[in-house]
């Protein structure tokens, strides 16, 4: 059975890409809203120390989860290409291997997160007055890490075959559940930051379960069958080949961002609360970036699998431009309204001032962030995973950490930390531009396509 409604290999390029990207965008909006509501409710009811504990969570969570999500991206590349080529046997083996990997990784992450949280938080120079609440929040959060991993596995499968609608529906439901539980547990019963993490865990479990039900009940070729969940050696090797570089990239960049967060922590809980509040707002700038990166990666993977190379070129141009324009529009709005937005979190006047200064250094450079992420997504969709890995590791990790170490050591001001992001986004964008101009990577696949027979359905 061919799911023509979802496939990105047919139809008007801009329409197909927008129909895929819009549900991803709306889903990310809801996810960001409930992440932001966590911080707003905690800040309003529990104060600056609790807000600092929750709002500064992004770097640690991404470091712990990012590796497994990166490997799952490798599965998405394999699934998208085989779906586009109508090689359903290989696609199904990849899907069931992907799910088996997610189950093992989720259990490992749950154990590691619960055990290692206090040690990592101390490494991050978390202030003593914030440490107990941060520990409580993260331990409750990582108790549900398997739900986070499996949700991302299931959504990756659905996105790879072009279905971005069902994940949107499930995110809306889980987001509403999360906000209601936050209001009841934190706002009503004042149970502390651990309750906010528990609400997130429950909502993530619900969204993962709904995705699982959809995959079990669909009559499409990508239907999940419980008894077929196992590791297939050839599929696992493909997933690792495409996904391991992305996983390493995510983890090392997250580690670099932990260094950034450690430096922010060194300026006290007001800086943690202000910059952490900004990071929740910044998540909205990532929305147009994330949706087009996912759309581009799936679009490129499916159309390369179908040997539609001219279609790939046109789709790449459209996706990059849309993402950059939308990201810069959001960045401009954040720059203008930063004081009002950060004040929503109930932070103190000092925290608000520090957060606004941090935001206004970074926000106008989102177009560079969008460009780098889009090119990385395109190359991942094409299976050229080493180029974005080395580029981002070089600039978003090595250069970022080196710059902060030197700059903050010379001038002990929070603004020196803030400038690390525009600097590294600029450098990676320059390298990606040179690569796209100098290397005709699509021509490589055109040559391969002349010697490969398209698989039958």
- What one-character DSSP code corresponds to residue 183? I
Digit-coded pLDDT (tens) for 99-109? 999 999 889 88
- pLDDT of 250 > 70? The answer is yes
pLDDT of 446 reads 54
Give me the pLDDT at residue 456, please: 35
Average pLDDT over the chain, rounded to whole? 83
Residue 400 has pLDDT above 70, yes or no: yes
> What percent of the chain is predicted at pLDDT more than 90?
26
Residue 453: predicted pLDDT:
42
pLDDT bin (cut points 50, 70, 90) of residue 150 is: very high
Higher pLDDT, 144 or 2: 144
Q: Which residue has the tokens 């154990």?
A: 111
> What is the predicted pLDDT for the residue at 122?
79
Condensed to tens digits (0 to 9), the pLDDT of residues 168-220 reads 899 889 888 988 898 898 878 877 777 888 888 899 899 999 999 999 999 99
The answer to which of 54-58, 75-79, 260-264, 428-432 has the lowest mean pLDDT is: 54-58
Instruction: Give CA–CA dist 97/235, Å, rounded.
Output: 7
Which two three-digit tokens encode residue 116?
């290692």
pLDDT score at 29: 78
| pLDDT for 343 | 87
Cα 434 to Cα 160: distance, rounded to the nearest angstrom: 28
Provide the greatest CA pair distance for the chain.
66
pLDDT recorded at residue 445: 53
- Please tell me the distance from the alpha carbon of residue 353 to that of residue 81, in angstroms, as a whole number: 48
pTM of the model: 0.74
Which pLDDT does position 449 carry in this prediction? 47
Q: What is the pLDDT of residue 451?
A: 43
In this prediction, residue 217 carries a pLDDT of: 93
Nearest to 115 by CA among 148, 149, 139, 137: 139
Between CA 108 and CA 146 the distance in angstroms is 8
* Mean pLDDT confidence for 285-310: 85
Output the pLDDT for position 130: 74
At residue 444, the pLDDT reads 54
Closest CA to 382 of 427, 425, 435, 426: 435
Confidence check: pLDDT of 362 > 90 = yes
Which pLDDT score is estimated for 5?
55
Write the DSSP symbol of residue 129: T
Residue 94 neighbours by CB under 8 Å, 6+ apart: 75, 78, 79, 82, 232, 235, 238, 239
Predicted local distance difference test score (pLDDT) of residue 208: 94
pLDDT of residue 109: 86
pLDDT above 60 (res 452)? no
In this prediction, residue 124 carries a pLDDT of: 67
Mean pLDDT of 441-449: 54
Supply the Cα-derived Rg of the chain in whole angstroms: 21
pLDDT, tens digit, for every residue of 374-385?
999 888 888 788
- Quick check: 309 pLDDT over 60? yes
């Amino acid at each position: 059975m061919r799911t023509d409604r979802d496939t990105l290999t047919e139809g008007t390029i801009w329409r197909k890409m927008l129909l895929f990207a819009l549900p991803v965008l709306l889903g990310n909006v809801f996810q960001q809203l409930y992440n932001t509501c966590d911080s707003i409710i905690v800040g309003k009811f529990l104060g600056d120390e609790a807000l600092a504990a929750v709002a500064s969570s992004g770097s640690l969570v991404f470091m712990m989860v990012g590796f497994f999500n990166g490997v799952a991206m490798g599965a998405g590349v394999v699934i998208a290409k085989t779906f586009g080529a109508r090689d359903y046997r290989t696609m199904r083996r990849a899907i069931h291997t992907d799910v088996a990997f997610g189950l093992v990784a989720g259990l490992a992450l749950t154990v590691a997160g619960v055990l290692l949280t206090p040690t990592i938080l101390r490494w991050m120079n978390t202030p003593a007055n914030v440490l107990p609440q941060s520990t409580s929040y993260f331990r409750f959060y990582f108790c549900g890490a398997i739900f986070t991993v499996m949700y991302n596995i299931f959504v990756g499968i659905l996105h790879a075959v072009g279905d971005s609608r069902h994940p949107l529906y499930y995110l809306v439901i889980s987001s509403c559940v999360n906000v209601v539980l936050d209001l009841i547990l934190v706002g009503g019963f004042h149970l502390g930051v651990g309750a906010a993490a528990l609400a997130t865990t429950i909502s993530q479990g619900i969204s993962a379960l709904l995705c699982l039900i959809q995959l079990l009940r669909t009559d499409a070729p990508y239907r999940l069958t419980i008894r077929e969940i196992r590791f297939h050696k050839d599929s696992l090797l493909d997933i690792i080949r495409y996904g391991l570089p992305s996983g390493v990239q995510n983890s090392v960049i997250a580690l670099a961002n932990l260094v950034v967060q450690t430096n922010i922590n060194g300026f006290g809980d007001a800086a943690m609360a202000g910059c952490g509040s900004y990071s929740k707002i910044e998540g909205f700038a990532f929305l147009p970036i994330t949706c087009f990166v996912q759309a581009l990666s799936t679009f490129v993977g499916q159309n390369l699998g179908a040997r539609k190379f001219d279609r790939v070129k046109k789709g790449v141009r459209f996706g990059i431009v849309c993402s950059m324009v939308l990201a810069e529009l959001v960045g401009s709005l954040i720059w203008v309204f930063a004081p009002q937005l950060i004040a929503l979190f109930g932070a103190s006047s000092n925290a608000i001032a520090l957060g606004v200064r941090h935001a206004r250094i970074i926000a106008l450079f989102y177009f560079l962030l969008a460009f780098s992420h889009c090119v990385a997504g395109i190359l991942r969709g094409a299976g050229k995973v080493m180029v974005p890995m080395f580029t981002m590791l070089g600039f978003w990790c090595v250069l970022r950490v080196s710059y902060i170490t030197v700059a903050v050591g010379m001038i002990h001001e929070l603004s020196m930390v803030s400038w690390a992001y525009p600097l590294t986004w600029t450098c990676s964008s320059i390298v990606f531009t040179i690569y796209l101009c100098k290397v005709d990577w699509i021509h490589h696949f055109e040559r391969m396509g002349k010697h490969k027979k398209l698989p039958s359905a």
